Amino acid sequence: MLLKRELELKTLQEDFIKPVSSFLFIFGRKQVGKTTFLQDYTKDKSTLFLSCIEVLPHLLFESFQKQITQKYEQATTNIETFGDFLLWLTHLSFTKKTVIIFDDFHTLCKIQKACLEEFYKQWNNHLKQKNIQIIFSSSIDSHTKEEAIVYQNASKRIVLEAFGYEAIKTILPEISKEDQLKLFALFGTHFNSIKHYNTSKSFEQNVSDILRQHQHAIVQQGWYLLKSEFAETATYASILYAIANGNNKIGEIAQTLGVKSSYLTRYLQKLNEMMLIKKRVPMNEDFAYSKFGRYTLEDNFLRFWFKCVYVNLALYEQNSMSKFVDTVLQTLYTELLPQTFQTHMYEMIVRNFETFFGYQPIQVGSWWNNKDQPIDVVAFNDSVVTFIQLQYQASSNSKQIYEELKQKSEAFQTVLNKQFALFSCH
């Protein structure tokens, strides 16, 4: 099933129908579905789809040239650089508006430096006079100071987020909401795993079947990401493993790895640029200067892989699948599911806050301080502030939890009237 990204498709189409040329950027972490999305967008358009692969530059540009000459009558020439290729491209005539896609553009930036600056020079000199829409698709969201002007002058900047819980409801509407949430907590929207779900079997049997029958593909999925993107595989894998296991502060990650916090800075920056992790700060804190940053994995499947697969590779290799399946299910119920419920409920409350509480908040977010007293949701307008605690399992000590929430709220500086709420799944 091809899930539609209606809002992003509409944004691209609105840009396409303008009577001028344009260039734009699409970012999304690896395997989020960028290529499939672009294929869906261009299915009824004249398109040049240029995949940037990691080879010597002149070989890559030769492949681009061959692909284009199959569609347009244009004499070939010797091309050594991206600038040569762009200059050659300016001689093409586009009578019908054409979409030119540079897929995995970050790879081109790796094998030839300053290629984005070279593009912008050719854009201003020649390409913007052509009847084209140029799309740069990338799994890395970063740029140099010199490249900043290029991004500032792009017509659009689109970030493709992973499909959320709602996608599971669309793909498998027959199963219960609880099983939908459990499946999402385990595999996220990793369709190569979800597509094997058999609705005539129980959730636990499905998990067992998927892990047993597709164990090689699941193991290789994580290694493929690590080895295809990182030279220092062990360091990056160790950082992701630490974060997946709840070490969200830079000091905690450093302690787990046995290194100094300063050693981790460039690695965390790289993972953040690749959209594999996200740094969060408490509401009302300056993102750049806050000392309370917390790092989280952005993909449920990746979190499952590091919590369950990476640390239990020996069970795979020894073919101890029964023990492995039991370990996965135990981790799901004790750790992955409560975390996923909290994230899902947070997003639902933010989307529907006025429905729940009767007012439109000026600001909404999570809050914590250096005493590790987090409040899951804090929202306020000009007269009231609401503090919300999220629990997967309802507790017999709800009154105590409610009082603890009130106590934690004392550390949040405010003169507004306070109200409190608890949410639970069961």
- Which residues make up the CATH 1.10.10.10 domain(s) of the chain? 171-346
Closest to 101 (Cα-Cα) out of 40, 29, 161, 42: 42
**CATH 3.40.50.300 location in the chain:** 6-159
Q: What is the mean pLDDT of the chain?
A: 90
Each residue's pLDDT tens digit, 185-203: 999 988 888 999 999 999 9
Q: Is the pLDDT of residue 253 over 90?
A: yes
Give the burial string for 368-404 (b: 16+ CB within 10 Å, else e). Answer: beeeebebbbbbbeeebbbbbbbbbeeeeeeeeeeee
Q: Compute the distance between CA of residue 236 and CA of residue 289 in angstroms, rounded to an integer.
A: 24
- Which tokens in the block code for residue 166? 């709602």
Query: What letters, b where the CB count within 10 A reaches 16 and e where it falls short, cover 232-249?
Result: eeeebbbbbbbbbbebbb
DSSP-assigned beta bridge partners for residue 379: 364, 386
Q: What is the DSSP letter of 227?
A: H
Distance CA 391, CA 339 (A): 9
DSSP string, 150-210: HHHT-SEEEE-PPP-HHHHHHH-TTS-HHHHHHHHHHHTT-HHHHTT--TTS-HHHHHHHH
Determine the Cα–Cα distance for residues 211 and 221; give it in Å rounded to an integer: 13
pLDDT of residue 201: 96
Q: Is the pLDDT of residue 23 over 80?
A: yes
Residue 1 pLDDT > 60: no
CA gap 300, 118 in Å, rounded: 38
Beta bridge partners of 279: 295
For strand 98-103 and strand 132-138, is the pairing parallel, antiparallel, or unpaired? Answer: parallel
**What's the token pair of residue 307?**
């919590």
Round to whole Å and give the CA distance between 299 and 305: 10
Query: Distance between CA atoms of 281 and 289, rounded to whole angstroms?
Result: 10
Q: Which of 43, 46, 50 is nearest to 2 (CA)?
A: 43
Most confident of 66-75, 80-89, 345-354: 345-354
Q: What was the pLDDT predicted at 402?
A: 92
The tokens for 216 are 């090689």
DSSP assignment of 70-134 equals TTS--------SHHHHHHHHTT---SS-EEEEEETHHHHHHHSTTHHHHHHHHHHHTGGGSSEEE
Q: Which of 185, 227, 196 is nearest to 334 (CA)?
A: 185
What residue type is assigned to position 371 of the chain?
Answer: K
Asked if pLDDT for residue 2 goes beyond 70, the answer is no
Q: In this structure, which CATH number among 3.40.50.300, 3.80.30.20, 3.30.1780.10, 1.10.10.10 belongs to the domain 6-159?
A: 3.40.50.300
Between 29 and 393, the more confident residue is: 29
pLDDT tops 70 at residue 409: yes
Residue range 193-214: average pLDDT?
93
* Per-residue pLDDT at 395 exceeds 70: no
Q: Name the least confident of 40-44, 55-59, 141-145, 165-169.
A: 141-145
Query: What are the beta bridge partners of residue 384?
Result: 417
Length of the chain as a residue count: 426
The CATH number for 171-346, chosen from 3.10.290.10, 3.30.365.10, 1.10.10.10, 1.20.1250.20, is 1.10.10.10
pTM of the model: 0.88
pLDDT(284) > 70? yes
List 229's β-bridge partners, or say none: none
Evaluate whether 222 touches 306 at the Cβ level (below 8 Å).
yes
Among the listed residues 51, 75, 70, the one whose alpha carbon sits nearest the alpha carbon of residue 61 = 51
**Separation of CA 352 from chain center:** 23
Q: What is the pLDDT of residue 424?
A: 85
Q: Answer yes or no: are the C-beta atoms of 301 and 188 closer than 8 Å.
A: yes
